[in-house]
Amino acid sequence: MNIGFIGLGKLGLPCAEEFSRHFDTYGYDVANIESDLVGVKWTRSIEELTRSSEVIFIAVQTPHDKNYDGSKPTSELEVKDFDYSYVQNVLTELSGFDLEDKTIVLISTVLPGTIRNILKAPKKIQERLVYNPYLIAMGTEVEDLINPEMLIVGNESGERDHHIERLENIYKKVINKDFKKMFGTWEEAESTKIFYNTFISTKISLVNMIQDVAMKIGNINCDKVTDALSESSMRIISPMYMKAGMGDGGPCHPRDNIALSSLAKRLELGYDLFGSIMHSREQQAKNLACFVFSHGKKICILGESFKPNSKIKTGSSSLLVAYYLKELGAEVCFDKHDEKSDHNTFLVAHRGCFYDYTFPENSIIIDPWREFPDIENSKVIHYGNTTNVL
């Protein structure tokens, strides 16, 4: 099988050279770097590369302008998306060639929704376009390619086809070990890549904040604190809390963030992650409330406490959602239903509960945990899953 790489920069070049160890690999870049290639056959145009290759990897840049690379302050600048013009130009040029039995693989970083809503490639491109972003750090490109944390792959429909199978067969030769796979729609693959990166940024910001607190307060070796946290494998360094659903709650977490927000102000750290976390929590609850309200004005919330199997209501995200529902003008009750009333919209606030609840006929059941089974004569909506029309 012949492989082609369009874009031989910081990412494309080392990857193309590694692929050339297993396949006949062709390369093209607007800069003439033919003399720098090891194992990769230079082509003079995208058209020549397309004729020579069955699988075409697009590795061109999606840059910000030079003021947005993070080496200078950016928080006061106008926010900007990536520049997709390089990718757009390549897709436009490819659409003019014979692509029968070609697989096109985009590996450049893009935001969720970009491929479908911004790039909007012609149908002949879309039906063979796979999004396959790499989790690669600069400086360890080849190592991360052949020993990846996971392989991220998405296509238009989220359904397996011969393009996906072809790509997986390629990686079976390139990757050194059994590898984890994330397969879905373009949007799911786009999200996995970009949020993976932001998880790392958030993690670094949090541990560096511990360092700032140590410098302000004194008597703290921040390494002792971060080492202790890094060994907390039950909840922090684990799959725990990686299920999106209702917001954080309980007697500790919300109030801890509020108190730490005051500490950030008192210590004059110059930033407040905790205030931002609480604002996000509240806005997420409001977003959910607006969605529920759009399906009914009289609403029963299943789960009033802050978590299942507890009677404690302190910090309950259910109560917070109810607050916003009432602001919108909804009539809200909890955990019970009078069949003589006309409550027929339900929010399943507690995960894994209320499967045996008796719902009136023609109820609307909104489940932010996306686990509730279908119910005869009622509509179950899995909030957070938009692969099906809500």
What's the CA gap between 343 and 301, in Å, rounded? 10
Among the listed residues 198, 322, 195, the one whose alpha carbon sits nearest the alpha carbon of residue 249: 322
What's the CA gap between 198 and 243, in Å, rounded? 17
Give the pLDDT confidence of 284-303 residue by residue, as tens digits: 999 999 999 999 999 999 99
Domains and CATH numbers, the chain: 2-188 (3.40.50.720), 282-382 (3.40.50.720)
Count of positions (residues) in the chain? 390
Burial of residue 302, with CB atoms counted within 10 A of its CB: 0-12 exposed, 13-18 middle, 19 or more buried? buried
The structure's pTM equals 0.86
What's the CA gap between 217 and 262, in Å, rounded? 14
Phi (first) and psi of residue 90, to 5 degrees: -65, -45
What's the CA gap between 259 and 253, in Å, rounded? 10
265 Cβ contact partners less than 8 Å away, ≥ 6 residues apart:
272
Taking phi over 0 as left and psi of -120 to 50 as alpha, with beta for the rest, 320 belongs to alpha
What's the CA gap between 305 and 73, in Å, rounded? 43
Query: What token pair was written down for 121?
Result: 């490639």
What's the CA gap between 127 and 8, in Å, rounded? 25
CB 295 within 8 A of CB 381: yes
Longest dimension (CA), the chain: 81
pLDDT in tens, the chain (390 residues): 999 999 999 999 999 999 999 999 999 999 999 999 999 999 999 999 999 999 999 999 998 877 777 777 877 888 889 999 999 999 999 999 999 999 999 999 999 999 999 999 999 999 999 999 999 988 899 999 999 999 999 999 999 999 999 999 999 999 988 889 999 999 999 999 999 998 998 898 889 899 989 989 999 989 999 999 999 999 888 888 888 899 989 888 888 888 888 888 999 999 898 899 999 999 999 999 999 999 999 999 999 999 998 999 999 999 999 999 999 999 999 986 555 557 889 999 999 999 999 899 999 999 999 999 999 999 999 999 988 644
Burial of residue 118, with CB atoms counted within 10 A of its CB: 0-12 exposed, 13-18 middle, 19 or more buried? middle
Burial state string for 43-72 with b = 16 or more CB within 10 A and e = fewer than 16: beebeebbebbbbbbbbbbbeeeeebeeee
Report the pLDDT value the prediction gives residue 260, as an integer from 0 to 100. 84
What's the CA gap between 148 and 251, in Å, rounded? 40
What's the CA gap between 65 and 82, in Å, rounded? 9
Phi (first) and psi of residue 160, to 5 degrees: -65, 140
Report CA-CA distances (Å) from 153 to 113, 202, 275, 388: 15, 24, 35, 19
What's the CA gap between 82 and 88, in Å, rounded? 12
